[in-house]
Amino acid sequence: MLMTEKWKNKRVCCMGDSLTQAGVWTERLSQNLGCRVYRHCKGGLKMREIVDGGVGAEGVLPPLSASVLAGMDLAIFFAGYNDRGDTDTASALQYCIDTIYDRLEEAGNLACRILIVTPHCVGKYSYIDADGYEEYPPGSGRSLKKMAEIMEAVAADNSIPVCNLWKTAGINRRTWCVYGAVPGEDMVHCSDKGYELIGDVISGAVVRSFGG
């Protein structure tokens, strides 16, 4: 049964990195809301690259274009994992929000709603020796939790709803063994259960933010 009829057959563009490219949470979103999902994503890309285009771990993502957002009812921007350790989280997200609005304006579709989704609490990356609770680089004061808080603040400054997965997903050091892709090896990517959980949380955020 659908969570709501409001989003049935609505068009949703999901922008992101490898967690979005995996396709599981977006499929769950479609199942929950009955929406038609379109993806603009590529693994390994940082936030700016998702809108400007870039070469990721699994190929090239073209720049976000007006044609991608034409006719969309909702744009979900879910990224930040590959920006870990960068100093410009706020400016990077603001740049992405501005670019999304620019493309929506070009498409004549400024009525499209936007939802920002932050990273969840991850375990250690295969290429970053720090989990979601730890500072990276060490001593920098920059943690994944802090990144999520900064993204939440930037979204609020733009009057855009945010889904803070760090706070709401229920993925943490006690549950990485269930929701991580490969416990002890790859705990930034998710198991199917983890992706489905993220899809459920984002679905709930859509309904709470925009109605159902």
At 34-85, the pLDDT tens digits run 999 999 999 999 999 999 999 987 789 999 999 999 999 999 999 999 999 8
Distances (CA, A) of 109 to 40, 123, 169: 17, 38, 31
Q: At what angle do helices 89-106 and 144-157 cross, to 10 degrees?
A: 40
Q: Radius of gyration over alpha carbons of the chain, in Å?
A: 16
Q: Is residue 177 pLDDT above 80, yes or no?
A: yes
Q: Is the dihedral of CA 190, 154, 33, 60 positive or negative?
A: negative
